[in-house]
Amino acid sequence: MAQDIGVTGTDQFGNDAYKLLYQEIMYDIGKLASVERSTIVLKPEVPLFIISVKMKARPSARKIGDIAATRAEKGVVYVSISDEMYAPGTLARLWEEYGRDNVQQTDRLDITVRGADTSAEVDSLEVESSEQPVREILGALWRVLPEGIRVRREFENQGVITVVATEEIMRSEFLEEGKKVEDAMVKGVDYRV
């Protein structure tokens, strides 16, 4: 959890609690390590909440070749998954491509596929789109924000995802502040209330 998290706001207890909450929720979804920097702005008296996250690298699509070792032998392709997180997605993708009759899960992480011509063909199948990690991070940020703060806007710029949230009416000054936070994140400078 050694990433840079800047929390700024008008309530010290809330700042500390939300920093911990943010860390725990991001850690839960396994994305804390892929985040380079985060800024959280908390103004409960308004109420206005802004969370901005800068990814270490722009997420790219994951293919079976990235998360598993494959080899072809006598018309059967053997898939050995190295990253367990993608096991259900891999099985579902192989079922979709080759049908349930041709895909057998011999072990928790081992799958045999009939009907594939080469292992390269299996390697090239996509198990996670490039949008999926962004979607998961947005879901986590929604979980961090208080439940009643339901009016939300999201924007993305150069690998920085920002969520601006308030309770009733999204005023233009809230969006402007969100943009300022985003600019600071893109430039890599601190943002303070």
* Interface contacts to other proteins, rule CB under 8 A: 11, 13-14, 17-18, 20-21, 24-25, 28, 42, 44-45, 47, 143, 146-150, 167-168
Handedness of CA 49, 187, 31, 22 (dihedral sign): negative
Smallest gap from Cβ 69 to other proteins, in A, equals: 35
Smallest gap from Cβ 28 to other proteins, in A, equals: 7
Nearer to other proteins, 20 or 61 (CB): 20
Which token pair is 149? 């703060």
Nearer to other proteins, 72 or 170 (CB): 170
Smallest gap from Cβ 41 to other proteins, in A, equals: 13
Distance in angstroms (rounded) separating the CA atoms of residues 110 and 171: 53
Please enumerate in sequence order all residues whose Cβ is within 8 A of that of 28, keeping only pairs 6 or more positions apart, or say none.
Answer: 140
Nearer to other proteins, 72 or 149 (CB): 149
Please enumerate in sequence order all residues whose Cβ is within 8 A of that of 95, keeping only pairs 6 or more positions apart, or say none.
Answer: 103
Smallest gap from Cβ 136 to other proteins, in A, equals: 16
Distance in angstroms (rounded) separating the CA atoms of residues 41 and 35: 17
Beta bridge partners of 92: none
Smallest gap from Cβ 30 to other proteins, in A, equals: 14
For residue 97, which amino acid is it?
A: E
Distance in angstroms (rounded) separating the CA atoms of residues 13 and 166: 20
